[in-house]
């Protein structure tokens, strides 16, 4: 018994070092999963961002239809690059809604007239409160939300042409 | 030429280490002619250490001259850097810091070779042999996997610069201090290995080991204290401990060394706990090596990972497996040969020290599990991170139990004692602390239990730790008792600082225009100006803040948002205003759209006590060291001779 006890430190160290060696050899997964996936959108109710397009509330996302919630701003240069992709998504049947960050009705209107309007609704988040509440760190950013208002994916940065097919398929599957 | 000289010196030192190992282990042989060559281990150790020191000197010279034809210099330095950072930049990178590690290992060998005269020659030469084997592994690592003297051809016109977070005077002291701690423990490790090989671990062995443990422990304490303060003011997050893997990497050897320090005193004074002392010596240095490994391998992500490299990680891991595995296997096989020492009653000084050791070991296990659990979890297929909530809740109560033990433990007598004999005041302080903690939790709204207990126990211990000085002549009190009292008093001071910071810190996050005022705690803070300023290798936006305590006299603070040019990086330089009651901590953030500037302000009552306590703890260790190696006695002797 005592002999076994004397060898336990060795066994523990071997275990620890073996674990380290195993992990060192294994490929590292550096992706950080969004904490919002599979959680409901927080409650919010935003006024319209510009004339003629209704505002956005959390209740609008829980209507049974999946939505792509796009966080954008008229002053955001990458958003201009993203605009055609959103237009394509809309044309292929994805319901796109927007949240305009720290923007004015005039600027949003001229942004939409210049780069097209894929949005069914746009809420105006003047002081970024909703943006912070849903854990978005910049513009553009998109959330794929299912018919019950549950976030299924968070896309940071611009949606690229190569992402479009995957997003369309995922949104169809959520129906 | 300097680079080639440095490399040559390293190879020569490695060759001498081979000879040192052979001579050292020859001392264990039963054959007279082998034993006869073993004394050569001492001069070989001295020479090996000196050559390594010279090689390190070559590297520093290369950095001071910014010799860009050397790869390491080109990658990590820049001609426009202030000279202190050129100097410290020599170890602000992977290769240089490994050479520093080896240099200090060499100095440790020199110390053993020159000053250890009391211990049996068999143990000394085996110890030097073990020390040489340790050094050889790291020489191999340096020469084969991370040559600091590699040339770069053609030489670039300018260097890449040093990570701006490291461009701080603290870099000059923090790594050498911590390494003195880590590597100082290697001497204790070698003594333990030597004793096991020789099959003999008596009081003389413990007394020989004690100075190296004390040196290592003092420097580790200072290193952790300084590192904590560095993170506090340089990272601009207002926290002083983040349970970051690399912080844990320095904390684990410290915990083991603290336990070792107390158990080695049992072995040295009473000849008890022999096997346990040997075990702790092995664990302490193993933790140091694992600490180095964590920083370098990229296995754990950390704010400290400025020297990440997975391929070198494998090399170090194999070394670790050899050393740690070898030593622990030796323990399993040989410790039975070491005769067990003296016994003692449960209620005794030894008993209290065993409790101390148990509690420290549990904290060590908690930190170890918390640090490596994410890796284990990843191996099992899921991902998580372990943060402050786990560490604080798991280790906090046990640390407070350790503090409670400190009220009475130091008052107990060796071998056998009765609790009833202890002075009433010690029990009273403990009771008052308990009642005080409950009162704090009940009376002060929103107060958490751990900080309240910390404040109460810290306050009680500040008095109880002085009790060993009562009922005796202060002039005749041995220096070692003073040392213990100072260190334990330091624990109380640090604890009060931690608890006060946790319980009473006030925070204000606000966006201000120039001319506007805000308040945080008792302070009124006005943002007076935002100006650009220029430094040697950076430009910055500097906020001018005027702070008044309770409407009193104004003091200015200048937090900065610094942009370094080489390499291009932005850092935030916090501004601190220190008063005896605490610190005002100001960080300048980004500008907002309406011409306002984000400001983050903290008022942290008595936060400075954390580091003051750390310094007191180290001071206690240093005084003990001075007393143990007989410096005081020698000095008194010398004074008597000069002035009869």
- At B365 the pLDDT is 93
Residues B405 and B428 in one domain: no
Section A96-101 average pLDDT: 93
pLDDT of residue B304: 47
Residue B229: inside a domain: yes
B73-76, Cβ contacts within 8 angstroms, sequence gap of 24 or more: B73/B159, B74/B152, B74/B155, B74/B156, B74/B159, B74/B160, B75/B159, B75/B160, B76/B159, B76/B160, B76/B161, B76/B162
| CATH number, residue A149 | 3.40.30.10
Mutate to test the interface with A, among B278, B324, B336, B511 (most CBs of A within 10 A): B324
Please check whether residues B500 and B624 belong to one and the same domain.
yes
**Torsions phi, psi for B103 (to 5 deg):** -60, -45
B375 vs A: CB within 8 A: yes
Please return the burial class of B626, using the count of CB atoms within 10 Å of its CB with bins 0-12, 13-18 and 19+: middle
pLDDT tens, residue by residue, A142-152 = 999 998 889 98
Test mutation, B332, B365, B373, chain A, max A CBs within 10 A: B332
Contact B192, B236 (CB under 8 A): no
How many angstroms away from the CA of B561 is the closest CA of chain A? 21
- pLDDT grade for B593, boundaries at 50, 70 and 90: low
Domain that holds residue B556: 506-605
B230 with B324, same domain: the answer is yes
Q: Is the pTM of this model over 0.90?
A: no
Q: Mean pLDDT for chain B?
A: 85
Would you state the pLDDT for residue B447? 66
Whether the CB of B383 is below 8 Å from some CB of chain A: the reply is yes
Q: Which residues of B touch A24 (CB under 8 A)?
A: 297, 299, 310, 313-314, 317
Q: Is A39 part of any domain? A: no
Chain B's closest residue to A8, CA to CA, is: B332
Q: For B31-43, write each residue's pLDDT tens digit.
A: 877 888 888 889 9
- The per-residue pLDDT for range B1-37, each reduced to its tens digit, is 888 999 999 999 999 999 999 999 988 888 877 888 8
Q: Are B108 and B187 in contact (CB under 8 A)?
A: yes
- Provide mean pLDDT across the span B243-249: 84
**Whole-angstrom Cα distance, residue B413 to residue B48?**
45
Q: Answer whether residue A27 is part of any domain.
A: no
For residue A4, what is the nearest residue in chain B, using CA coordinates? B332
How confident is the model over B53-82, as a mean pLDDT? 87
Q: Has residue B164 been placed in a domain?
A: no
Q: Is A127 on the interface with B (CB under 8 A)?
A: no
Does B326 touch chain A if contact means CB atoms closer than 8 Å?
Answer: no
Under the banding of pLDDT at 50, 70 and 90, the label for residue B220 is very high
B163: in domain: no
Chain B nearest C-alpha distance from A140 (Å) = 18
User: B621 and B512 in one domain?
Assistant: no
In a domain, A95, yes or no: yes
Name, in order, each residue with C-beta under 8 angstroms of B177's C-beta and a sequence gap of 6 or more: B219, B222, B223, B226
Range of the domain at A54: 45-174
Q: Measure the CA–CA gap between B200 and B26, rounded to whole angstroms.
A: 17
The total number of structural domains that make up chain B: 4
More confidently predicted of B85 and B639 = B85
User: Looking at the domain assignment, is residue B215 inside a domain?
Assistant: yes
Per-residue model confidence as pLDDT tens digits over B290-344: 877 766 666 665 444 444 566 677 787 888 889 999 999 999 888 887 777 778 8
Is there a contact between A13 and B328 if contact means CB atoms under 8 Å apart?
yes
Distance from CA of A102 to the nearest CA of B (A): 9
Residue B566 has pLDDT above 80, yes or no: no
Average pLDDT over residues B130-158: 87
Does the residue B431 lie in any domain?
A: yes
**Per-residue pLDDT, B493:** 95
For residue B364, which residues of chain A lie inside 8 Å, CB to CB? none
- Closest to B310 (Cβ–Cβ): which among A7, A16, A24? A24
Average pLDDT over residues A86-111: 92
Across the interface, whether the CB atoms of A6 and B332 are under 8 A apart is answered: yes
B230 and B323 belong to one structural domain: yes
pLDDT mean over B453-471 = 87
User: Which residues of chain A neighbour B379 with C-beta distances below 8 Å?
Assistant: 19, 22-23, 26
pLDDT at residue B630 tops 90: no
Probe site for chain A from B252, B276, B317 (most A CB atoms < 10 A):
B317
Model confidence band, residue B366 (pLDDT cutoffs 50, 70, 90):
very high
In angstroms, what separates the C-alpha of B292 from chain A's closest C-alpha? 14
**pLDDT at residue A26, as a whole number:** 64
Q: Give the Cα-Cα-Cα angle B90, B92, B93 (nearest 5 degrees).
A: 90
The answer to whether residue A90 sits within a structural domain is yes
Tell me which of B596 and A90 has the higher pLDDT: A90
Nearest chain A Cα distance for residue B329, angstroms: 6
The pLDDT value recorded for residue B591 is: 80
Q: Is A22 on the interface with B (CB under 8 A)?
A: yes
Interface test with A, best of B326, B378, B385, B594 (most A CBs within 10 A): B378
pLDDT tens string B492-528: 999 999 999 888 888 888 888 888 889 888 889 998 8
* B256 interaction partners in chain A (CB closer than 8 Å): none
The answer to whether residue B109 scores a pLDDT higher than 60 is yes
Q: DSSP label at B239?
A: -
- Cβ–Cβ contacts within 10 Å for residue B286, how many? 25
Please check whether residue A32 touches B, CB under 8 A: no
Residue B440 CB: number of other CB atoms within 10 A? 20
Say how far apart CA A65 and CA A149 lie, in whole Å: 9
- Among A9, A24, A29, select the one facing B317 at the smallest CB separation: A24
CB–CB contact A17 B331 (8 Å): no
Judgement on whether residues B429 and B537 belong to the same structural domain of the protein: no
Last-in-domain residue among B157, B181, B213: B157
pLDDT above 90 for B644: no
Is residue A13 situated within a structural domain? no
Contacts with A, B 236-295, CB within 8 Å: 279, 282-283, 286, 290, 293
pLDDT given at position B32: 79
The pLDDT, as a whole number, for residue B301 is 55
In a domain, A119, yes or no: yes
Residue B305 has a pLDDT of 47
Within 8 A of B591 by CB-CB distance, chain A residues are none
How many domains does chain A divide into? 1
Q: Chain B: nearest CA to A40, how far in angstroms?
A: 21
Tell me the CA distances in angstroms from B116 to B37, B42, B119, B211, B480, one per residue in order: 18, 10, 7, 10, 21
Q: Which of A14, A28, A29 sits opposite B325 (nearest CB)?
A: A14
- Touching check for B72 and chain A: CB below 8 Å? no
- Least confident segment among B78-87, B114-123, B156-165, B340-349: B156-165
Phi-psi region of B233 (alpha: psi -120 to 50; beta: other; left: phi over 0): alpha
Q: Give the pLDDT confidence of B170-210 residue by residue, as tens digits.
A: 667 777 888 889 888 999 999 999 999 888 888 888 888 99
pLDDT value at residue B306: 43
Chain A closest-CA separation from residue B368 CA (Å)? 10
Among partner residues B279, B320, B593, which is closest to A17 by beta-carbon distance?
Answer: B320
In the listed set B414, B432, B458, which residue is the last one of a domain according to the structure? B414
A35 vs chain B: nearest CA distance in angstroms? 12
Does residue A16 belong to any structural domain of this protein? Answer: no
Asked if B471 and B513 sit in the same domain, the reply is no
Residue B132 contacts A where some CB pair is shorter than 8 Å: no
Query: Which chain A residues are Cβ-neighbours of B321 within 8 angstroms?
Result: 17, 21
Residue B165 in domain: no
Kindly report, residue by residue over B387-419, the tens digit of the pLDDT. 888 998 889 889 988 998 888 888 888 888 888
Query: Rounded distance, CA B623 to CA B481, Å?
Result: 10
Kind of pairing, strands B560-564 and B569-573? antiparallel
Residues B375, A23: C-beta atoms closer than 8 Å: yes
The answer, yes or no, to whether residue B84 has pLDDT greater than 60, is: yes
């Amino acid at each position: 018994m005592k002999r076994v006890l004397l060898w336990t430190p060795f066994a523990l160290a071997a275990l620890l070092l073996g674990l380290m060696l195993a992990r060192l050899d294994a490929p590292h997964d550096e992706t950080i999963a969004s904490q919002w996936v599979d959680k409901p959108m927080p409650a919010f109710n935003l006024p319209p961002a510009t004339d003629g397009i209704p505002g956005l509330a959390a209740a609008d996302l829980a209507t049974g239809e999946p939505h792509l919630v796009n966080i954008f701003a008229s002053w955001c240069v990458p958003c201009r690059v993203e605009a055609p992709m959103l237009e394509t998504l809309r044309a292929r049947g994805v319901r796109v809604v927007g949240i305009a960050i720290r923007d004015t009705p005039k600027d949003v209107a001229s942004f939409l007239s210049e780069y097209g309007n894929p949005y069914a609704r746009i809420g105006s988040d003047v002081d970024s409160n909703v943006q912070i509440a849903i854990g978005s760190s910049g513009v553009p950013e998109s959330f794929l939300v299912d018919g019950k208002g549950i976030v299924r994916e968070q896309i940071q940065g611009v949606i690229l042409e190569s992402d479009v097919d995957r997003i369309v398929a995922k949104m169809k599957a959520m129906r | 030429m300097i680079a080639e000289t440095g490399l040559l010196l390293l190879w020569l030192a490695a060759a001498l280490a081979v000879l040192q190992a052979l001579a050292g282990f020859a001392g264990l042989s039963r054959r007279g002619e082998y034993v006869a060559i073993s004394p050569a281990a001492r001069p070989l150790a001295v020479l090996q250490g000196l050559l390594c020191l010279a090689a390190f000197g070559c590297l520093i010279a290369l950095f001071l001259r910014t010799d860009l034809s050397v790869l390491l210099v080109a990658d990590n330095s820049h001609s426009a850097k202030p000279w202190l950072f050129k100097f410290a930049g020599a170890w602000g990178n992977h290769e240089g810091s490994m050479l520093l590690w080896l240099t200090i290992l060499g100095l440790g060998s020199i110390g053993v070779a020159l000053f250890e005269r009391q211990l049996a020659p068999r143990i000394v030469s085996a110890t030097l042999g073990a020390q040489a084997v340790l050094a050889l592994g790291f020489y191999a690592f340096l020469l084969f996997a991370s040559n600091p003297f590699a040339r770069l051809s053609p030489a670039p016109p300018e260097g890449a610069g040093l990570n701006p977070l490291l461009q701080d005077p603290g870099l000059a002291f923090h790594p050498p201090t911590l390494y003195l701690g880590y590597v100082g423990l290697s001497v204790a490790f070698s003594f333990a290995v030597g004793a096991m090989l020789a099959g003999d671990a008596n009081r003389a062995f413990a007394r020989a080991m004690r100075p190296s443990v004390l040196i290592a422990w003092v420097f580790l304490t200072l290193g952790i204290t300084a590192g904590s303060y560095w993170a506090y003011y340089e990272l601009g997050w207002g926290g002083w401990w983040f349970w970051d893997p690399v912080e844990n990497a320095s904390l684990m050897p410290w915990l083991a060394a603290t336990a070792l320090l107390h158990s080695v005193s049992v072995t040295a004074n009473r000849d008890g706990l022999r096997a346990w002392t040997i075990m702790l010596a092995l664990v302490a240095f193993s933790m140091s090596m694992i600490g180095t490994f964590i920083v370098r391998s990229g296995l754990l992500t950390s704010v400290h990972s400025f020297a990440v490299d997975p391929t070198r990680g494998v090399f170090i891991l194999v070394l670790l497996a050899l050393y740690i595995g070898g030593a622990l296997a030796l323990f399993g096989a040989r410790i039975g040969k070491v005769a067990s020492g003296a016994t003692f009653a449960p209620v005794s000084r030894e008993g209290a020290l065993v409790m101390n050791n148990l509690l420290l070991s549990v904290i060590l296990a908690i930190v170890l599990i918390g640090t490596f659990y994410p890796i284990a979890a990843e191996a099992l297929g899921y991902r998580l991170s372990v943060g402050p909530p786990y560490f604080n809740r798991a280790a906090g109560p046990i640390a407070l139990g350790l503090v409670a033990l400190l009220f009475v433990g130091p008052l107990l007598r060796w071998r056998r004692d009765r609790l009833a004999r202890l002075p009433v005041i010690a029990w009273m302080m403990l009771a008052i602390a308990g009642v005080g903690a409950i009162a704090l939790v009940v009376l002060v709204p929103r107060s958490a239990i751990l900080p309240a207990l910390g404040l109460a126990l810290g306050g009680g211990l500040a008095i109880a730790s002085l009790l060993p000085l009562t009922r005796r002549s202060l002039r005749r009190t041995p220096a070692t008792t003073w040392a213990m009292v100072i260190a334990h008093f330091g624990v109380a001071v640090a604890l009060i600082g931690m608890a006060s910071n946790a319980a009473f810190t006030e925070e204000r996050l606000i966006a201000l225009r120039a001319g506007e005022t805000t308040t945080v705690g008792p302070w009124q803070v006005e943002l007076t100006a935002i100006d650009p300023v220029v430094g040697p290798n950076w430009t910055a936006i500097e906020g001018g803040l005027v702070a008044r305590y309770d409407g009193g006299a104004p003091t200015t603070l200048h937090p900065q948002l610094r942009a370094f040019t080489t390499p291009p990086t932005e850092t935030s330089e916090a501004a601190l205003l220190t008063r005896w009651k605490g610190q005002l901590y100001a960080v300048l953030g980004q500008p907002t759209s309406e011409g306002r500037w984000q400001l983050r302000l903290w008022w942290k009552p008595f936060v400075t006590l954390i580091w003051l306590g750390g310094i007191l703890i180290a001071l206690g260790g240093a005084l003990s060291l001075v007393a143990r190696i007989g410096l005081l006695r020698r000095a008194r002797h010398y004074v008597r001779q000069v002035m009869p």
